[in-house]
Homo-oligomer: A and B are copies of this chain.
């Protein structure tokens, strides 16, 4: 925990086919449904402690509708709200909703809606769901990929260094790593973290991109071996892996990407370094050093350039800029 946020708490995914999306997340990804209301299904991994870590809501196109963060405390919540307002990103307080208390809403320079709150509802397993280990929130009875807990979110943004700056300067997150575009003049990718790993939020810089685009969100598994196992399960379930399993140089994490039925990209994630330096200087990668793919021989497929909501006709130069991020 570095700064005013203690952790990424949830993502709200808009899906054009919310039932199919929810079924994928429970039956293949192995999440659990906490409850549902008319519009939304509330889900969590077997190791997520809160009421939900994923909300699936009906929407015209796949996209992340908002991100929920838990503050580092009641006082930190107030400080965060003041800093966000001071930075011109604030959108005011929201009343308590299902799963958490009052929240301060803000919007990143790249156009994504976020909320930060402190009071949170914790999941409590019923008798049948209780673990034999007192430290676990729920029994480990894996279904499919059996994602343990939410890990991070990634967005496409026209203002990458402003997004980084908001999380670093207003919220105290650490700016850990960044990659330059092939021409070497623009930051094409940046990782920001409120925890010991390389990121809980990342940004893909595409100067021509419209605001409000999401790229993927990720769930955590306990070991790289489980990511490889997940790849097999996904392929056999009829959900082909989009990219991976492989290893990022960034963060040293093992990963794979897959599309959920609504079309959004989801990452399965594990491994990675543990770094505890509050005064860490962000490390710079050049485009050919393997940040995106550590072994530099597993090129990112073109489909990875798609962001959400999808643009039926992206300008040619935006696609080209996107290529920069991936090289």
Contact = CB atoms under 8 A, between A and B. Distances in A.
Contacts of A241: 295-297
Contacts of A134: 283-285, 289
Nearest to A228: B224
B233 A273 contact: no
A266 to B, nearest CB: 15
Contacts of A240: 295-297
A247 B230 CA distance: 13
B233 A47 contact: no
A60 interface: no
A232 B133 CA distance: 10
Query: How many copies of this protein are present in the complex?
Result: 4
Nearest to A135: B283
Interface in A102-149: 131-135, 139-142, 144, 149
A129 to B, nearest CB: 10
A222 to B, nearest CB: 6
A106 B131 CA distance: 39
B236 A276 contact: no
A225 interface: yes
Contacts of A237: 141
Given A1-B1, A220-B274, A273-B47, A131 B295 contact: no
Contacts of A224: 223, 225, 228
Interface string A269-286: 001011111110001110
Given A223-B225, A297-B241, A233 B277 contact: no
A101 interface: no
B297 A135 contact: no
A318 interface: no
Given A133-B294, A225-B223, A6 B277 contact: yes
Residue of A220, A232, A247, A252 with most partner-chain B CB within 10 A? A232
Interface in A36-67: 47, 49
A249 interface: yes
21 contacts: A1-B1, A6-B276, A6-B278, A131-B236, A132-B235, A132-B289, A132-B290, A133-B290, A135-B177, A135-B251, A140-B236, A141-B144, A142-B144, A142-B233, A220-B274, A222-B271, A223-B271, A231-B295, A235-B295, A297-B301, A299-B299
Interface of A: 1-2, 6-7, 47, 49, 70, 72-73, 131-135, 139-142, 144, 149, 177, 195-196, 198, 220, 222-226, 228-229, 231-233, 235-238, 240-247, 249-252, 254, 256, 271, 273-279, 283-285, 289-290, 294-299, 301
